[in-house]
A and B are shown apart, each in its own frame.
Chain A
């Protein structure tokens, strides 16, 4: 197992270099805004723009710039091995410092949403599978279809206009920007109830349908019939035998979805609810065409996805005794 983990970590480093090259190419080879002109601002002269371009090395050959960027990524920062580059629009602030400032909010948002969606999807999926074609099954599947179809930004706005305590029809939950104003873990958690719910609902719906299908298959397996024949109580048959089997591929799915979540819905949710996380920072960076910051955050995201998948693989081995590395 340790050898496998080391091997995967080495692969992750190679992958991150490839990701860096791709992201660098997107902003430096394909048509994109000119950072020197943007940095110069309004009314700048061509001489000023050129001076900025030259002083920041933006007129150097592509490979030189990429090499410098990679060197910048691995510049030590506050005792650590890398700083992920620096933001020229934020007074040379290391990207890692910016990410570190924003990470807690994103981690809290994503972790809460994952707990919520698993907490919703598993019982709903299992209940639907055990009562196939019942009214409950049909109702839950139609509801999940509705949530799967709803874009998260739309769902977020609807939730705000219905339940936010400042602009909602029914004042229940804290609204936009409440996270930054709250003090303490519990208070911050309270401000995330709506974002968690919005972020979790769509994915929970997908997972519920997936678990239902897996459970239906598992309940028809021979080992379930055998367990029942041996007189094992139905509750244990479902939870210990069928569900354990059905949930294994779901864990794999979770690893992939964490990445998708960070790259998509978490950004949208953070924007709608003004949660000061990495997603919002990406939006700000794109707005400023702060490429080095965007590249650094993408690199961090890729690293996170690789690690998340590694953890999933380890958990997979734990859940399924047949899997060995």
Chain B
């Protein structure tokens, strides 16, 4: 899902959260974070089930600042895009609105079967699921196999496959084959086999079935008909994104050839009901109350867009959070029930380069954490309402959060005071060999942050903390994409500090938060997300072992322990677990999907 860059991290003001889900309907699995963990007042709790008296029909307008990343489900990874994909595609597994513990069978007719040795996962595909026009035929297991295999083509380039499906037998060789011949068609992955029309078997080299199953709740498992898509995949980049075949209750309006006439990038997405979708025949859990959905893009001024939603009719927000002024007005009673909040499943932190002096010394890093005013850092993002001050990395709602100490953390002294403790900081500096408790010699550090607000303010606050320890800070601000693709994601160019990073879960598992960001094995030359360059053998081994654990409770415990191990090493300054604020017009019976922390368009309806 959406991650570090601004398109990627959900920017803007976010409201603190607490979910009183019991009051919101019966679609949750009891795993949602408590109000105490997220701090969302009950009146802003996100509804996760439609009301009893829903009104069928009507058009909903979603206001957005930007666009989806890719209409092609094989390439999609952006949180906002998931608003579209969850309503327009059936994936093997999918997340019900109130569910945070495990995805439910969707295109699969039941839970996947895992062999005793954990090396084989079998999905049975539902009958009665049909592609939208012009394909018009029933979905088979081969369509899912093709969907995953085409993701290896450079012209599709799904980032999740090599990350979470790396243990699928023969995947690496197939990826090389695709790279060598980008327009030669999807490579065959020996470990993915449609044994008949209804059965998909995935063979693994290591027993990482738990990860694979969660990853197949992402859009990559949305079926793609090879007979229709192959000609588009023969181009580089693939042009299937202009000709997508849908299986969900809604589809993007298309002409008779399947070209998406309803999609104008950066401008508008018009979604209509998929004429080939039959809820009963296809066993879909989505009610799909609306007749049509219009996503209107380009609303750069989120203040006026927010007010338009609150004062208008049949509208919700898409990819933006309302600005602090709107949150303040709405929170003070101006829009009862129209503003809701939910934990995003993401965190924000300031990465310290653990490979270069002075931050290669764990005591110096602990000193920096102790000196940092994390409350002030959090407040640069919008204050108390945007989320709790973080003191470790797994956010509320993700298994492992409680095992890592919950909202209180692991009791580490250098994170004890969220407003910073200069005495504790000085003691760690002395432990690192700085006798005065401050750096006095060779103290220059480089900080490269994002130039846009509020990230630039976050950098300023952090620099104050660094300077209080005697460091001479050379601070430079650059554009967001330049920051990531030229500096923070490139280990050779990594400065001492990358202050504008954060991570949003891909699915609800500790692995998806900690493995890409703190596993030494995940460090790579070009697209690195282990920004602190943390490479600690014990942590790497613990991560490798936790990947293989299947029991959910034990798995959560293991990832919680790993979170504590990482936090003890102080590779970064965690300062907020983000919440996501959403808005609706008064006549919208909105339903939030906690997995995506956004409106679930297939459950939302109009009221009155």
With A88-B237, A180-B296 known to touch, is A284 a contact of B266 (CB < 8 Å)? yes
Residue of B nearest to A102 (CB): B267
Q: Taking A33-B482, A39-B157 as contacts, is the C-beta distance between A44 and B301 under 8 angstroms?
A: no
Q: Say whether A31 faces chain B, with CB atoms less than 8 Å apart.
A: yes
Nearest CB in chain B: distance from A46 CB, A: 4
Q: Which of B1-9, B98-106, B280-288, B355-363 contacts A (4 or more CB under 8 A)?
A: B1-9
Kindly supply a per-residue 1/0 record for chain B positions 482-507, scoring 1 wherever the CB is within 8 Å of any chain A CB and 0 otherwise.
Answer: 10111001000000000000000010
**How far does the Cβ of A192 sit from chain B's closest Cβ, in whole Å?**
15
Contact A43 B160 (CB under 8 A): yes
> Which of A42, A92, A289 touches B8 (beta carbons < 8 Å)?
A42
Are B237 and A39 in contact, CB atoms less than 8 angstroms apart?
Answer: yes
In the complex, A5 Cα to B539 Cα: how many Å?
Answer: 72
Q: Which residue of B lies closest to A157 (CB)?
A: B301
Q: Does B67 contact A (CB under 8 A)?
A: yes
Q: Which of B46-54, B129-137, B248-256, B522-530 contacts A (4 or more CB under 8 A)?
A: B522-530
Contact with B along A276-295 (1 / 0, CB 8 A): 10001101100111000000
Among B192-200, B303-311, B391-399, the stretch in contact with A:
B303-311
Q: Which residues of A contact B176 (CB under 8 A)?
A: 47
Q: Which residue of the partner chain B has the closest CB to A44?
A: B159
Cα-based distance from A276 to B299 in the complex (angstroms): 10
**Cα distance, A175 to B311, chains bound together (Å):** 13
Q: Is A134 an interface residue (CB 8 A)?
A: no
**Is the CB of A90 closer than 8 A to any CB of chain B?**
yes
A 255-271 to B, binary, CB cutoff 8 A, 1 in contact else 0? 00000000000000001
List the A side residues contacting B264 at CB < 8 Å: 101, 276
Q: Which of the residues A52, A271, A287 comes within 8 Å of B7, measured between beta carbons?
A: A287
Q: Is B343 an interface residue (CB 8 A)?
A: no
Task: List A272-325 residues whose CB lies under 8 Å from chain B.
Answer: 272, 274, 276, 280-281, 283-284, 287-289
Which one of B63, B162, B242 lies within 8 Å of A48 (CB-CB)?
A: B162
Instruction: Report the minimal beta-carbon distance from A230 to chain B, rounded to whole angstroms.
Output: 58
Contact between B1 and A42, CB atoms less than 8 A apart: yes
| Contact A33:B486 (CB < 8 A) given known A101-B264, A283-B300 | yes
Q: Which residues 1-32 of B have a CB within 8 angstroms of A?
A: 1-4, 7-8
A177/B296 contact (C-beta < 8 A), A51-B182, A101-B264 known: yes
| Docked complex Cα distance between A93 and B70 (Å) | 13
Tell me whether B238 and A48 are in contact (CB under 8 A). Answer: no
Give, as a whole number of angstroms, the nearest-CB distance from B524 to chain A: 4
Kindly state the separation between the CA atoms of A44 and B175 in the bound complex, as whole angstroms: 12
Interface residues of A in 176-223 (CB under 8 A from B): 176-177, 180-181
Closest residue of B by beta carbon distance from A33: B481
- Expressed in whole angstroms, the minimum distance between the Cβ of A100 and any Cβ of chain B is 12
Chain B contact residues, majority secondary structure: loop
Which residue of chain A is the closest to B503 with respect to CB atoms? A42
B510 beta carbon closer than 8 Å to chain A: no
Tell me the complex Cα distance, A24–B392, Å: 44
A53 to B239, CA, bound (A): 18
Question: How far apart are B479's CB and chain A's nearest CB, in angstroms?
Answer: 7
Residues of B within 8 A of A41 (CB): 69-70, 75, 77-78, 157, 159
User: Using Cβ atoms and an 8 Å threshold, which residues of chain B touch A60?
Assistant: none
Q: Does A234 contact B (CB under 8 A)?
A: no
Instruction: Show 26 residue pairs from A and B whose CB-CB distance is below 8 angstroms, ordered by the A residue.
Output: A38-B485, A40-B159, A41-B70, A41-B77, A42-B159, A43-B77, A43-B516, A45-B163, A47-B162, A47-B176, A51-B154, A51-B179, A52-B157, A55-B155, A55-B182, A56-B236, A91-B72, A91-B240, A92-B237, A93-B242, A166-B312, A176-B301, A180-B267, A271-B298, A276-B264, A276-B267
Task: With A44-B157, A48-B157 given, name 11 new contacts (CB 8 A).
Answer: A32-B482, A33-B481, A33-B485, A37-B527, A51-B157, A54-B179, A91-B239, A93-B265, A181-B296, A276-B268, A288-B7
The 6 closest A-B CB pairs, nearest first, are A33-B481, A51-B179, A284-B266, A34-B485, A43-B159, A44-B159
Residues of B within 8 A of A (CB): 1-4, 7-8, 63, 66-67, 69-72, 75, 77-78, 154-155, 157, 159-160, 162-164, 175-176, 178-179, 182, 235-242, 264-268, 296, 298-301, 304-305, 307-308, 311-312, 478-479, 481-482, 484-486, 489, 506, 516, 524-527, 529
